[in-house]
Amino acid sequence: MRFKAIVLVFLMTAVSGFSQDSDNWFYGKPIRDIVFTGLNNISIQELDALMNPYKGRIFDDNIFWELQGKLYALEYFDRIEPGILRPGANDDEVVIRFNVIERPVVGRIVFNGNTGISRRDLNDTIITKVNDVYNQSKIRLDVEAITNKYLERGYPNVIVTAQESQSGDSTINIVFNITEHEKISISRIEFQGNTRFSANTLRNQLSLKARSIINDGAFQEAKLLADRDAILKYYHDRGYISAQIRDVTRTYEADSRRTNLILTFFIEEGAEYSFGGITFEGNVIFTTDQLNRLISSRAGDTVNMTRLETDLQRVADLYFQNGYIYNSIMRNPELNNQTNTLSYVISIVERGRAYIENIIINGNIKTRENVILREIPLEPGDVFSNAKILDALRNLYNLQFFSAVIPDMLQGSTENLMDLVITVEEQPTTDIQIGLTFSGSSDPETFPISGLIKWNDSNLLGTGNQLGIEFNSSIVDTSSLTVSYLQRWAFGLPLSLGFDFSTNYSKRMDTMDNQNPIFNGDESYAFPDGFYSYEEYIFYNKTPTREFLMPYEQWYLSLGLSTGYSWMTSAGIFNIGGGIRFGLQRNSYDSDLYRPFNKVLRSENNSWTPKNSMWVTLSLDQRDIFYDPSKGYYLYQRMAVLGIFPNEKEHYFRSDTKAQYFFTLFDLPVSENWNLKGVLGFNAAVSFLFKQPGREMVVDSPNMLAVDGMFVGRGWSMEYRNKGNMLLDTWVELRIPLAPGIIAWDFFFDAAAIDGDNSSYFNNFSINNMRFGYGGGIRFTIPQFPIRLSLVKRFKFENNQFKWQNGQLFGNTDRNDPSRDWMGMDLVISFALSY
């Protein structure tokens, strides 16, 4: 009835709208604007976001009906009256006007009869909120959500109803009436008939738990059904494939506070069976040897039904992955009760492959269809491939344009043709920030808080290209302005082209050599002011006290050009990239007061000097989602030439090698909407600086490698001035998503080290070079807010002896008592960088 009413309103309003002019002047004219009258509670910005894609398009009946359909789908309006207007004196453009009558908004939400669950918890449970547009279907969902909440808390007989009442002309009050009835709590769970496995072992398989200090013992009927299956699975995976649960009895005992429930599982275990093997029939496309290699279960093993199911699914998947989706694969079990063995005969009826007839994209409003299609490694006419569909989902999620990507397969025009339908749900891709932010600099001498003005669109005009402008200034010591553009696909190929222009200003500190002895700065025995010998310089990690550091200012202007090309391979996404950067740098200090120890800084004071570089990168990425992976690996190699022309101040090569691996350690269902998931990640990375052939190796101090304490060797910020030509960075992390896609808790162990001079690497390397840390913290997994807050406890080895490092928080206040240094921890704030 409701659909017929909407259609009738459409017909009536369309007739009334078009009747303003009988000559149909508006057909074929571009739509200049879409305006609304009658809005009181609905945001015009929300409607503009829906209507803007239609502005500029040519008016016709299809667009007119499509606009009205989208407005009615919002369920914000009781009636929509369309009209066509002239924007001015001529008829070259069209203005569409919608006069709307809004539905009322929710004025109050009241809960009656709730004693077991607080009003706050119920408010968090429902989706309807005060000032929302009244929506009857949402109210029905809220009733169901409240009911489920009570069922979770152990109220199996709860009754929830909703009552709406009009309040004035524009608001509706909603009352949820709740009859809780008695709460049922499990006091004991018992088993009868179990001889092979203990009651405690079987209890550990259950999601229902008896009441205890940490568990309220709430009874849920749905969980009981799942627990019956869990016990049977436990038996079936250990050879007892005929095990059954004959009954689950319930015994009730009432007290003054609740009704106590005793659950008793009656089990019939049966005999233990072994596996007798698998025989294949009807297979021609794949040989029996090929299919047998997919079977991990071996004849004579105790039957494990989960493993067998996985084995048999691999056989089906082999056909499915190669496009044979219409095959018939029958599993015929053969049970021998005399020898207690289970065998299978797999009968296969092979049919032709399935092909993609059409690829249909739904849900994209801003993003152009070709931007989505180019991320799908399938085209019409290709053989169906489930693996390529999974690759498409990964590619689309990694764009970070969509909050949801849903694939579907529909029958095509003939039996062996399929339509691939991809439905996407877009999320905001424009980022505008004005305010204060953490700078993200790894230099501990820079002021950590910056003023930020940033605009970035990662999906510019729906083209998939990225444009960004960012101004960042701490006012105290750093300022930067960057304009960047990235075209992800050029010439119809997965070829990226990008450029950026940046200007950077910073105030820095560096070592000086004002006092005797005076060094050139490249002698193997040289040391700066603040030390009496080279040995002392090394002992204190090349870090003088601040009074022996000199200030200087640095300007750097640069233009960077970059490119990259990607291939989809069976091993992952292979990418080769490179670029070149042209720049000018100017260092400035008072030469009457200071003489820098670093000869690079000492040369050409107050002069603009060229600073150019070029680089090439190779990577292989098999992670599922690059910015928050749960499985897969990542291999990366970058080689850079710093200092291209002879007249530049610096000349050296830099090599960066990285390997990462992630896998899901556990994924345990806790509730219907949340799993306790743990992802274990490993990282090993090493960087080297080495000389260019035929040139002296010259590296400015800020560009040498260091354990920065923020991204490498978390917490070791005091090591920043211990520079070297080799950097080792390793970590292990256990990542636990608290709210998937938003926030996670990480546990980590870091080990990092600096070593090397101009001629040797690892020659004198030992455990004494390593800087260790472990801890945990919050990591925001929102791509637009990649902040990480960590608490870390540090330790190292001196002369091969273990030594705790005191921390800034909760630490040892008695500097004369190092035995208590195990107490302190350090807070580290950094960006959660993704590659």
pLDDT in tens, 819-831: 777 778 888 887 6
Lowest average pLDDT, out of 553-557, 715-719, 731-735, 772-776, goes to 715-719
Neighbours of 436 (CB within 10 A): 10
pLDDT band for position 686 (cuts 50, 70, 90): very high
What are the beta bridge partners of residue 789?
778, 829
Instruction: Residues 184-268: name the CATH superfamily.
Output: membrane protein fhac (3.10.20.310)
Which CATH number, 1.10.10.60, 3.10.20.310, 1.10.260.40, 3.30.450.40, labels domain 355-426? 3.10.20.310
Which tokens belong to 248? 């689950």
What pLDDT shows up at residue 449? 58
The C-alpha angle 763, 766, 771, rounded to 5 degrees, equals: 125
The mean pLDDT value of the chain amounts to: 87
What pLDDT shows up at residue 8? 43
**In degrees rounded to 5, what are phi and psi of residue 621?**
-120, 115
The C-alpha angle 814, 818, 819, rounded to 5 degrees, equals: 110
| pLDDT at residue 10 tops 50 | no
What pLDDT shows up at residue 672? 59
The residue with tokens 């496309």 is 285
Which tokens belong to 209? 């738990």
| pLDDT at residue 21 tops 60 | no
Alpha-carbon torsion (594, 599, 600, 603), positive or negative: positive
| pLDDT at residue 16 tops 60 | no
Distance, CA of 96 to CA of 32 (rounded, Å): 8
pLDDT band for position 810 (cuts 50, 70, 90): confident
pLDDT band for position 12 (cuts 50, 70, 90): very low
pTM of the predicted protein model: 0.61
Distance, CA of 653 to CA of 665 (rounded, Å): 39
pLDDT band for position 759 (cuts 50, 70, 90): low
CATH number of 2-102: 3.10.20.310
Q: Which amino acid is at 540?
A: Y
Distance, CA of 630 to CA of 210 (rounded, Å): 33
What pLDDT shows up at residue 431? 79
Distance, CA of 406 to CA of 418 (rounded, Å): 16
| pLDDT at residue 646 tops 70 | yes
What pLDDT shows up at residue 122? 93
- Is the domain spanning 612-835 CATH 2.40.160.50? The answer is yes
Select the more confidently predicted residue: 757 or 807: 807
Contact 575, 566 (CB under 8 A): yes
Query: HEC states along 404-470?
Result: EEEEEEEECCCCCEEEEEEEEEECCCEEEEEEEEECCCCCCCCCCEEEEEEEEECCHHHCCCEEEEE
**In degrees rounded to 5, what are phi and psi of residue 37?**
-125, 150
What pLDDT shows up at residue 522? 75
Look at residues 117, 133, 116, 124 and name the one whose alpha carbon lies nearest to residue 174: 133
pLDDT band for position 75 (cuts 50, 70, 90): confident
Domains 105-179 and 184-268 alike in fold = yes
Residues in the chain: 835
Helix ranges (H only) for 501-638 are 534-539, 599-602
What pLDDT digit, counting tens, does each position of 615-645 carry?
A: 999 999 999 888 889 999 999 999 999 999 9
Instruction: Please state the domain extents for the chain.
Output: 2-102, 105-179, 184-268, 274-349, 355-426, 508-571+584-608, 612-835
CATH architecture, domain 105-179 = Roll (3.10)
What pLDDT shows up at residue 678? 94
CATH number of 274-349: 3.10.20.310
What pLDDT shows up at residue 111? 94
Neighbours of 643 (CB within 10 A): 21
Q: Are strands 94-102 and 31-37 parallel, antiparallel or unpaired?
A: parallel
Alpha-carbon torsion (269, 272, 277, 281), positive or negative: negative
575 three-class SS: strand
What pLDDT shows up at residue 423? 94
pLDDT band for position 361 (cuts 50, 70, 90): very high
The C-alpha angle 512, 517, 521, rounded to 5 degrees, equals: 50
What pLDDT shows up at residue 784? 62
What pLDDT digit, counting tens, does each position of 459-501 carry?
A: 999 999 999 999 988 766 788 999 999 999 999 899 999 999 9
* H/E segment holding residue 10: helix 2-18
What pLDDT shows up at residue 17? 43
Distance, CA of 518 to CA of 489 (rounded, Å): 55
What pLDDT shows up at residue 169? 65
Using a pLDDT cut of 70, give the percent of the chain over it: 91
Select the more confidently predicted residue: 639 or 54: 639
What pLDDT shows up at residue 812? 67
Q: Which of 380-384, 574-578, 779-783 has the highest mean pLDDT?
A: 574-578
What pLDDT digit, counting tens, does each position of 134-193 carry?
A: 888 889 999 999 998 888 888 888 999 999 888 776 788 999 999 988 888 899 999 999
What pLDDT digit, counting tens, does each position of 380-401 carry?
A: 999 998 888 988 998 999 898 9
Residues 6+ apart with CB under 8 A from 75: 103, 133, 135, 137
pLDDT band for position 503 (cuts 50, 70, 90): very high
